[in-house]
Amino acid sequence: MNRERYVRLRRSDWKDFELLLAKLQKSRDGKWTAAEVSLMARLYRSVCFDLSMVQSREWGTQLDEYLNSLVASGHNFLYRSPQGQALPSLSFLLIGFPQLLRSQVRPFLLALALFGVPLVVCTILAAVRPDLAEYLVDREVLEQAKKMYSTSLYTSESPEFLGQRSYMFGFYVNNNVGIAFRAFSLGALAGIGTGLVLLSNGINIGLVQGCMLAEGGDTANNFFSFVITHGSFELTAIVIAGAAGLILARGIVFPETRTRLESLQHHGRIALRLALGAGAMLVVAAVIEGYFSPAPIGSGIKYFTGTLAWITVIAWLSLAGRGRVSQ
């Protein structure tokens, strides 16, 4: 696709993003509708992807600067600091988000089971009987994965590394945040949609992972050294987004002493804050997956870094903010 056609196809979304951003900037905090939040999330992800596409194709400084300004404006708006409070977004992510997650441990554990159990079962199944995996996952997908990881993605002499990884960073943001947002938003379907998203992703990831184990050798090593670091943020964030969807479902199905509208508002605020925290984790995961995971460095370094990343994520979510009053 050439530059002119791409711009024609995408211009309407860029204009919609500008108009929505201007509208929300005039609104008071907390007065956004669910439709506006959904549209803002979708458009922001698509503009991030468009920026990475333009940068990777080198389609001109003017277009690059325009899209970069849209992404920057959207980021500044989504993570802006309210007056009179220093760095509230950072404070929420480092302290408030883990506190909030721990207060919702039951939906988190349920989401973890819906995702983790099929992942483990399908990993073992595919590792022992890789032929059975082909009945559940497209054989072409498995063959492409094996081919991709049969050799290192890049070498120290690969001149295309930065250009290609900038493109893939945008793809990962769009894809991963999209999965998490579906897990969260489909909670509105009494939690059934959220459960299906968690189950399907657990099954698919497990089957591919098991097939890589069955393949063994360099293929397995290249695959697991690639996924171990960013997987700590990415997989955990998907589970948290699923927990947010289940909380949203609880507000609809079990209003308890509140009216259904009051229950939806109460649980919806909690769910949205968790989903936003998960989104931030996925941006971190996309940066790691785009630039560190495929880097031409030794697998031992990646396993070491990946182990530290998992320890960091677990410690952060388990310990951050303990002994402090949540805001």
Are the CB atoms for 20 and 73 separated by under 8 Å? no
Domain extent at residue 73:
1-80
Q: What is this structure's pTM?
A: 0.71
- Lowest pLDDT segment from 27-41, 43-57, 99-113, 270-284: 27-41
Residue tagged 């769009």 (tokens): 174
- Residues 297 and 152 occupy one common structural domain: yes
Q: Is 177 among the domain residues?
A: yes
Q: Is 324 among the domain residues?
A: no
- Residues 252 and 120 occupy one common structural domain: yes
Is the pLDDT at 81 greater than 80, yes or no? no
Q: Is 252 among the domain residues?
A: yes
Are the CB atoms for 230 and 285 separated by under 8 Å? yes
**Two tokens, residue 260:** 């259904």
- Residues 219 and 117 occupy one common structural domain: yes
- Residues 144 and 223 occupy one common structural domain: yes
pLDDT tens digits, one per residue of 224-273: 999 999 999 999 999 999 999 999 999 989 888 788 888 888 888 899 99
Instruction: Tell me which of 75 and 49 has the higher pLDDT.
Output: 49
- Residues 27 and 121 occupy one common structural domain: no
Percent of the chain with pLDDT over 90: 39
Handedness of CA 90, 270, 196, 309 (dihedral sign): positive
- Residues 71 and 136 occupy one common structural domain: no
pLDDT tens digits, one per residue of 43-52: 888 888 888 8
- Residues 228 and 143 occupy one common structural domain: yes
Handedness of CA 242, 247, 248, 252 (dihedral sign): positive
The C-alpha atoms of residue 309 and residue 301 are separated, in whole angstroms, by 12
Count: domains in the chain: 2
Q: Which residues contact 303 (CB under 8 A, 6 or more apart)?
A: 224, 225, 228
The C-alpha atoms of residue 216 and residue 210 are separated, in whole angstroms, by 10
Q: Is 327 among the domain residues?
A: no
Q: Is 148 among the domain residues?
A: yes
